[in-house]
Amino acid sequence: MTVEITAESFDPYARLRDFQQQRLNSAQYGAEAVFVGYMRDQNNGVPVSAMTLEHYPGMTEQHLEAISASAATQWPLQQSLIVHRIGNIQPGEAIVLVAVWSAHRAAAFDACRYIMEDLKAKAPFWKKEQRVDGERWVEQNTPGYTGKNQD
């Protein structure tokens, strides 16, 4: 289970490919589930030109490692990877990559969703948006998965 916090922009698919080549034996897993989150250029209809993402060093990594460990106790996972940006982020840049590998798709899908939902709801990250009308701290994330179609 690997967790990485980075202030550098990253290509999620290159990072995924490198991780697979260095850390995984493709004969061991039958399924891979991947989620990539990007910065949008708007939030609730208001244009956003940039975002600063802050974290609590040490505590954030520990929380993400705990999420990965919890997922591994609930589903038979071979591996998981979380890469999360901090610092100044521009629209269109990747913010988060969550990937999990398992023998079967159900475990991979469920574990990936579990990790991402917990990360969004509980991990100690703080977002400040740069907007036309000034800066503002984001007070809450968009709702998590409800089983219904959402924006």
What does the pLDDT look like over 41-87, one tens digit per residue? 998 888 999 999 999 999 999 999 999 999 999 999 999 999 999 99
Q: Note whether 89 and 100 are within 8 A (CB).
A: no
Q: How confident is the model at residue 33 (pLDDT cuts 50, 70, 90)?
A: very high
Report pLDDT for 81: 98
**Burial category of 8 from C-beta neighbours within 10 Å (exposed 0-12, middle 13-18, buried 19 and up):** exposed
Q: How confident is the model at residue 28 (pLDDT cuts 50, 70, 90)?
A: confident
Of 121, 97, 98, the C-alpha closest to 108 is 98
Of 87, 126, 112, 89, the C-alpha closest to 7 is 87
Percent of the chain with pLDDT over 70: 93
Query: How far is it, in rounded angstroms, from Cα 70 to Cα 35?
Result: 18
